[in-house]
A and B are shown apart, each in its own frame.
Chain A
């Protein structure tokens, strides 16, 4: 299973922000979309990621953090994924590197974002599905008939 299957059922693309926008704008977007991170883009090219953590860190020491620019607080060294990346290796990379949001890029263009929550849910559904299918086959061994 690859991460395209997660993006496919997530509707619109990732929520983006421009690096020159304010943290106030960014907070409004996080609130409106009920999400934990924004991708900063120039055109369609991701240039950074801004997470709740980045804002909390600044808010803890600067009362005027609302007025700062996204570019000042965002993480520039972004780890990105590609639609064909395998679920398992992505899950591993995200836990290993302690990242909770992975922008997905296809040919340099941002096509979506997966969160660690999306990955956990997709893995859980995959395992649940496999267990269900195995159980069906075990029950088949105990008699019954097939189509």
Chain B
């Protein structure tokens, strides 16, 4: 007689791809299960865990990063292992994992940005905001990017939290930045920045802007940047006013009040100015004749109500030209397909039903494959939103286990999986390795009165561990 899977003698073995917040939340829900004994191996293509908490969250928002304390508790479970620097589809394939695990969960997030789809988007001087974010946060793949910070006028397209982070980092003084864990090379580059005028461009009105009230308040408290808004753009249109009135939405009321106060402010003569613009959409980037950006052509928008009651923007016949030499677009993230995993092009997510990956032809679940987080539902919500999302996926996983619907790996031993990883990627990083790197980074930070000084290349990390 064979023992059931999910018992201490025959634990359910799960591989999670992607060590961002969702990967940890998924591991946490699985390891806490009272229904089954589960062993989790968490893979990431980068040597370091935490995904966008380390490489996306702005360096001047350290408090948000405290969520990693919860992730470390998950990692302390003896049934948890981390395999960093191991890329799915390259170092280990889906076929490999099927030979070692009962279930596989994809938590790879949304790794690329959405394009604006307008002429001139590919001029040098026009970048995805996410590249700038990855660069200033010390992402090993982006450390060699360069941005022309000799430009005095910069536009950031979008009003989500990434766009707001980018304008804030551009407007911070070297002293403000020097207290953060921003990558050293980015700190040096930003110290030499000649940026003077920064524009944040919103497609819809102030009431529809995705940024939160604390985020917008922070923009009015920058040490050496004046914030400005134009009175006619922050004045509520009748549709927005009615919508706020109907829903008694006090947070949005407050947001509009803050913005109106910015529109009334007199400039205090600070070195930089941050201009918050609403109801405008870029329609074209014009070149300077040398391949760079000279200006952004904008069209003015008006709002209309859809049949479901949402206020959307549509172009009017009024336009303007905004001279800028550097443009960052932040109009949304997009998921990237994984090798051998069904993808839903319409929503840029893995094709799934509540986290169960579906066969594209039959629309039926594929045994043993699951997904959670942004690659499951698209890039929405805050870090914590991924916790209930992961719980939904884990619920499906345990339900399938109870019905015997799991993979039948030829080699379901923990030691065998580790041997495979070691063979494919001898330089993989364990959680113990990460903890050593973490101690080194924080010690370097302490010496400079910073939260940490990041190691930003794989070579640096290997040599810090005396492995090179």
Contact = CB atoms under 8 A, between A and B. Distances in A.
Contacts of B67: 133, 136
Interface stretch (B5-13, B254-262, B344-352, B409-417): B344-352
Contacts of B442: 145
Interface of A: 1-2, 4-12, 79-86, 88-90, 92-93, 96, 102, 106, 111, 124-126, 128-133, 136-137, 139-141, 144-147
B65 A147 contact: yes
Interface in B51-78: 53-54, 62-70
Given A126-B381, A132-B387, A147-B54, A9 B310 contact: no
Contacts of A80: 307-308
Nearest to B391: A125
Contacts of A89: 243, 308-311
B253 interface: no
Contacts of B363: 11-12
Interface stretch (B81-89, B293-301, B353-361, B455-463): B353-361
18 contacts: A6-B377, A8-B347, A9-B352, A9-B389, A11-B363, A80-B307, A89-B311, A90-B308, A92-B309, A129-B384, A129-B387, A133-B64, A133-B67, A137-B64, A145-B66, A146-B63, A146-B65, A147-B68
Q: How many of chain B's residues touch chain A, expressed as a range?
A: 35 or more
A82 B351 contact: no
Contact of B63 (A5, A9, A141): A141
B62 A133 contact: no
Q: Which of A88, A128, A136 has the most CB of B within 10 A?
A: A136
A141 B200 CA distance: 30
Interface of B: 50, 53-54, 62-70, 208, 243, 246-247, 249, 306-312, 344, 346-347, 349, 351-356, 358, 363, 376-378, 380-389, 392, 438, 442, 451-452
A137 B63 contact: yes
A81 B380 CA distance: 18
B50 A147 contact: yes
A114 to B, nearest CB: 10
A12 B310 CA distance: 25
Residue of A11, A83, A111, A137 most packed against chain B (CB within 10 A): A11
B381 A147 contact: no
Contacts of B310: 81-82, 84-86, 89-90
B385 A146 contact: no
Contacts of A128: 384-385, 387-388
Nearest to B50: A147
A6 B353 CA distance: 10
